[in-house]
Amino acid sequence: QVQLQESGPGLVKPSQTLSLTCTVSGGSISSGGYYWSWIRQHPGKGLEWIGYIYYSGSTYYNPSLKSRVTISVDTSKNQFSLKLSSVTAADTAVYYCARGTYSYGYNWFDPWGQGTLVTVSS
């Protein structure tokens, strides 16, 4: 079955760019039909959707983060990536990648990666 795994630095300095990669196994991003997503969870808080990318490169971002977010895809490596610029302590969170299904208004995320904690601190 499809599995997702996040990777990247666990510590980022304020004002720098957070960069994470999600590696997909057990299925191909290029096969289409799914929207590859990033979701984060601040410590002890709820879930916040960051954005998604389709295999073609089309993206859609949370308006609240749009000015700082870039999601890209590398189909040759079966990976997609997140960049969040100008980070502050408020961006400290567990970051999850997930596969999104969107169909006629319906949307759900499954499966999810295990998540990776990113701390913003000097």
Partner 1 sequence: DIQMTQSPSTLSASVGDRVTITCRASQSISSWLAWYQQKPGKAPKLLIYKASSLESGVPSRFSGSGSGTEFTLTISSLQPDDFATYYCQLRGTFGQGTKVEIK
> Binders of partner 1 among 37-76, rule CB under 8 A?
46-49, 62
Residue 47 in contact with residue 38, Cβ under 8 Å? Answer: no
Shortest distance in whole angstroms from residue 13 CB to partner 1: 26
Bridge partners, 109 (sequence order): 100
Q: Is 10 in the site for partner 1 (CB under 8 A)?
A: no
> Binders of partner 1 among 13-42, rule CB under 8 A?
none
DSSP of 6-36, one letter per residue?
EES-SEE-TTS-EEEEEEEESS-GGG-S-EE
Shortest distance in whole angstroms from residue 85 CB to partner 1: 20
Shortest distance in whole angstroms from residue 15 CB to partner 1: 26
